[in-house]
Structure 1
Amino acid sequence: MSTKVLICDDSSMARRQMARSLPASWPVEITFAANGREGLSAIREGKGEFVFLDLNMPVMDGYKVLETLAAEGIETRVVVVSGDIQPEARRRVMQLGALEFIKKPVDVVKIAELFGNLHLQRPPERRRDTRRVRPPPAGTRRPPAKLSPEQRDCYREIANVAMGQAASLLARVWDVFVLLPIPHVNMIEISELQMALKATEYDTVSTVCQGFIGSGIAGEAVLFFHDFTFADIARLMKYEGKIDKATEMELLMDVAGILIGACLKGIAEQFDVPFGLGHPAVLGQHVPLEGLLTDGVAWRETLAIEITYTIENYNVQCDLLILFTEESLDIMSHKIAYLLD
């Protein structure tokens, strides 16, 4: 008799990866759900004897799914699969009744260990995928195309994993819980970028920028700090002196070093390329957004990833914007092609 397995994740790429990681010898009927509400409906219909559950989803997140299952007394076996690898995230889901917590991207070896620990059928041994994607031949560069829905989903999942790694590092350093959003991924004209920045809810920001490059992929990571965050950042970093402009700059650079460095490392690992990082630079302290990023920029088009980090129970919020040059896009498309097969 087959086991009814539900894979609940807002990323179609992540759903496919999870399904491929299951042992071929395990008789299953797989149902997919794109958010927690769909997942709950499927479980109530009897399609989720065993559930692989993401945490960070639209409509209803994984925490709410676990809370609802407990409140309604629905019995099912739930394994959380998430890019949010903060220790507090794991503690919370286990307290809510999850059997286990595994991190993204899914590791076949970890799945094998999971099946052994839960006394399920152990999957057959699989070879690691050692394929390497070749860069496009010289002279064949095409004008950058708009993102397909599959490409957008793939980049968003890559950002989701990197975002979780950065949040986990910050959570461990500060002993806090970081609230994470669904990353925004867009292909935009540089002129549109300035319009998007103007539409944000803050007038002035303090900003750190750091360039990166590796194997033909290059860009800039920009961290925007809301001006109201500095007092709480100082408290979290146990700074007790007067907060002047020089102190703010130190705080900016320390936080940027954690978030930018960890996030770019997570992206580089998934692209299987080494990123060299430039020296971080403060673009401005308590300055208006107008012209902050676009003055002197020669790019025409950019792939932009936007992530907002918010510290639970503290008045701390910052936005990380990762911009890839248009010359990087063909190589990145080739890098993710095998994920979309």
Structure 2
Amino acid sequence: MRPLPLLVCDDSAMARKQLIRALPADALFEITQATNGLEGLAAIRAGQGAIVLLDLTMPELDGFGVLAQLQDDGLPCQVIVVSGDVQDEAIRRAKALGAKAFIKKPADPLQLSAALSALGILIPLNSASQSLAEYADGLPDVSFRDAFREVANVAMGRAAELLGRVLGVFIKLPIPNVNILEVGELHMALAEAQHGESLTAICQGYIGGGVAGEALLIFHDAEIDTVATLLKTHLDESAKLEMLLDLASIIIGACLNGLSEQLMINLSQSHPLVLGQHCPIEDLIRINQRRWKRTLAVEISYGLEDQDIRFDLMLLFTEDSVPRLQKQLDLLIDG
């Protein structure tokens, strides 16, 4: 039998490595990897993607764009979407654009095997739990930053699914930024999130298993009334603040729970607190400058489709947390 051309299209080396490892060991594939949608389309056009395992959130061209182009060009391939964006609307859109199946990240080997079998690919019954040792040489190298970005991506998607249900809108997901920031760089990142607007900032601390930090969620004051309208409520000043605290609990809580589950660390969360209300970013930095030191920062900006609204979330891990995070990520990377 000739190997079946299979394309793994995902910007994360961690995700590609996990997917290749999740493939049934006894199936005969010729595997190609692509790091964005444009690379993926080029590989498919070159005959390297009879089967495509496709991420949705990617640079250059996202998964929705790839699916739309495949339809427009009539390219002969079968697509299984494997994504951290688990919103019902994301699943509906992907399937409407021709995806044969949708699997949430990180991909379960049994679900992947079942999806491949549904495409007519013969999978031995005992192969789903085996490792793909013969493809070990083709597995990508995964850095700490890439691995943590992928873990954050999955957690971010779970938070978006919950937020979208609460607000009744589709949440546009970014690619998370992960960086070690000195205090001055953190201030610059916060200033960039403001864009000259007054804001309300809410923080929530977390600790557990050798990891500690705090989440910072920034709401732009000009958007708060629109958020209240989406929730079909008319609020006074006190009730608006309560609404923001509730939203912060939803977004931050879901994100941290997603991280805890993947990293196998139990993170206890404090109650959300208001750091600053209706203030410029300079005041927020000045008030809190002693608490923000050198930190591992995850930056996520949720956008609401058809609304000029975004929620800027930063997960700030203490420098002392990095060795424990590295250890847990190594377990995921090396499997």
TM-score (ref. length: structure 2): 0.91
Asked if residue 262 in structure 1 is aligned to residue 263 in structure 2, the reply is no
**C-alpha distance in 2, partners of 1:283/1:298?**
11
Alignment correspondent of 1:204? 198
Q: Which runs of 5+ in 1 are unaligned?
A: 130-147
Displacement of 1:300 after TM fit? 3.7
The one-letter amino acid of 1:151's match is F
Displacement of 1:175 after TM fit? 2.1
Displacement of 1:293 after TM fit? 4.7
Alignment of 1:178-197 (within 5 A): 178-197=171-190
Alignment correspondent of 1:153? 146
Higher deviation after alignment, 287-296 or 276-285:
287-296
Higher deviation after alignment, 198-207 or 184-193:
198-207
**C-alpha distance in 1, partners of 2:129/2:103?**
20
Displacement of 1:20 after TM fit? 0.8
Alignment correspondent of 1:221? 215
Alignment correspondent of 2:165? 172
Distance 1:34 1:193, change over 3 A: same
Alignment correspondent of 2:306? 313
The one-letter amino acid of 1:272's match is M
DSSP-derived class of the 1:232 partner: helix
Alignment of 1:267-286 (within 5 A): 267-286=259-278
Displacement of 1:128 after TM fit? 9.4
Distance 1:323 1:80, change over 3 A: same
Alignment of 1:19-30 (within 5 A): 19-30=20-31
Q: Is the 8 A contact 2:24 2:130 kept in 1?
A: no
The one-letter amino acid of 1:267's match is L
DSSP-derived class of the 2:207 partner: strand
Alignment correspondent of 1:324? 317
Higher deviation after alignment, 56-65 or 291-300:
291-300
Give the count of matched residue pairs: 321
Q: Which runs of 5+ in 2 are unaligned?
A: 132-140
Alignment correspondent of 2:134? none
The one-letter amino acid of 1:213's match is I
Deviations 1:61-94 (A, max 9, x none): 0111010010111121000010000000000010
Distance 1:300 1:250, change over 3 A: closer
Alignment correspondent of 2:290? 297
TM-score (ref. length: structure 1): 0.90
**C-alpha distance in 2, partners of 1:22/1:199?**
41
Distance 1:128 1:42, change over 3 A: closer
**C-alpha distance in 2, partners of 1:60/1:334?**
33
The one-letter amino acid of 2:61's match is M
Alignment correspondent of 1:142? none
Displacement of 1:315 after TM fit? 2.9
Alignment correspondent of 1:137? none
The one-letter amino acid of 2:82's match is V
Q: Is the 8 A contact 1:82 1:103 kept in 2?
A: yes
**C-alpha distance in 1, partners of 2:123/2:229?**
48
Q: Is the 8 A contact 1:184 1:307 kept in 2?
A: yes
Alignment correspondent of 2:41? 40
Q: Is the 8 A contact 2:206 2:214 kept in 1?
A: yes
Deviations 1:236-275 (A, max 9, x none): 1110x3x432122012112111101100100111110111
DSSP-derived class of the 2:66 partner: helix
**C-alpha distance in 2, partners of 1:51/1:320?**
32
Deviations 1:291-324 (A, max 9, x none): 5256353554210000011111223211000000
